[in-house]
Amino acid sequence: MKLFLAALALFPIGVFAQDAPDNAPLYGTWSWTGGENRCTEIFDFRPDGVAYVISGAERTENTYSLSPKPGPAGRKRLVMTATRYYAGKDCGGNTQDPTGKPTTSYVLFLPGRTQLIMCNDETSDACFGPLFKLNP
């Protein structure tokens, strides 16, 4: 065991960190209010890969994954899949059940990592936000 720990100490910590997904900046509760209807969306990302989302009157429970590294535009790919749907009209006016349908967004953390924007793809300006981090 001591030999294993000594050998482990010889490896740079970055060797292991490269393969670990970096979801830590996403953990916590984020809020955004916007659009013509001033509707509020709240995203609560948990460390176990579960996210609770409130969008207007709609509530969903989701699984999510965040890419470990950002793309060329600095955005990380976020894939969310609703696992439970509590009916209601979302901020976009939709009432369709999203259960089982993955959605992909691209997240850009702003300096300080207390704000982020969500975009439809990796490079366009089709984004909303900023979302503000309410708690760690």
Residues 6+ apart with CB under 8 A from 59: 52, 53, 85, 86, 88
Angle at the Cα of 91 (from 44 to 42), degrees rounded to 5?
15
One of 2.60.40, 3.30.70, 1.10.10, 2.40.128 is the CATH number of 2-135, namely 2.40.128
pLDDT per residue as tens digits for the range 69-93? 999 999 999 999 999 999 899 998 9
Reduced DSSP (H G I as helix, E B as strand, rest coil) percent helix, strand, coil of the chain, to 5: 10, 45, 40
Judge whether residue 4 has pLDDT over 80. Answer: no
pLDDT value at residue 95: 92
Where in the chain are the domains? 2-135
pLDDT value at residue 36: 80
pLDDT per residue as tens digits for the range 10-60? 333 333 333 334 566 899 999 999 878 899 999 999 999 999 999 999 999
